[in-house]
Amino acid sequence: MNRQGHQSAESSGDGPGPELSFLLSAVVPGSGQYAQGQRRWLAYVAAEIAGWFLVLDRRRDGNRLRDRYREIAWTVAREGHSEVPRTDGDFHYYETLAQWDRSGRYDTDSGEEGIQPETDAMTYNGSIWVLATGIYFPADVPEPVPGDPIYEQAMDYYVDRAYSDRFLWDWSDGPEDWARYDDTISRSDDRFREATLFTGLIAANHLLSAVDAFVSARLGDATDGALDVSTHLLPELSGERLGTRLDVSLTLRPGAR
């Protein structure tokens, strides 16, 4: 989003004061400029409309892609492995599905009392149990058994972090679908990040319009000169993260009294 405006602010006793001008433009960008008779209110309103259009468009696209990757996950990797009826997980769950091809089992022997954790470290649940034993089981001593407080601490860790039977998955029979899933979830994430970026630009537009209106009204009261305002609202890439850069240039040209 790139917007540039130039306007001369002339001294006038008819417009609102600096504080009211600031408040007006903070609530509705451009309204303070409009009340002062400045044509650049159109630029602020246009930026506001464009910003909300982009936010809503990116959110709608992000939600559509989210529904798609959840459907891919269920029909390819989860159905037949997860318990039915279908239960959708949180965002972290679907990110995990993109990183691990198999969940492994949650309880490897449902006929035995208690939970028998997955031990295959090549699966997600198995990796959680390996991590739990590495944290809680002391080295160079016999391995704790169920009922031992140390074993139960490791089991609590496993139960809190491993995925239960409602959320198991296996991509082994659909590697191409797994790649399609990964691409879809990445595209959805990008759309939501873009929506956040444009929301930040909308907030910057409110602030910029408010400051511009305040300064214009204040200088208009103090001088017969003119105020030149040049503004830019720009997305900026820093590493792998999108941010916002706001460039403002204010130039006062005194006039004869």
The per-residue pLDDT for 248 is: 56
Where residue 239 falls (left for φ over 0; alpha for ψ -120 to 50; beta otherwise) is left
pLDDT digits (tens, 9 = 90+) for 197-233: 999 999 999 999 999 999 988 887 544 445 555 555 5
Q: Are 235 and 6 in contact (CB under 8 A)?
A: no
Report d(CA 94, CA 66) in Å as an integer. 10
pLDDT tens digits for 45-84?
999 999 999 999 999 999 999 999 999 999 999 999 999 9
Q: What is the mean pLDDT of the chain?
A: 86
pLDDT given at position 224: 41
Per-residue pLDDT at 246 exceeds 70: no
What local confidence, expressed as pLDDT, does residue 139 receive? 86
Give the span between the Cα atoms of 211 and 184, in whole angstroms: 41
Percent of the chain's residues with pLDDT above 70:
80
Give me the mean pLDDT over the 152-156 stretch: 97
Enter the pTM of the model: 0.76
In this structure, are residues 138 and 154 in contact, taking their beta carbons and an 8 Å threshold? Answer: no
Structure token pair of residue 207: 């602030």
Give the pLDDT mean for 115-131: 97
Place of tokens 């309880």: 107
pLDDT digits over 88-120, tens only? 999 999 999 999 999 999 999 988 889 999 999
The whole-number pLDDT of residue 257 equals: 38
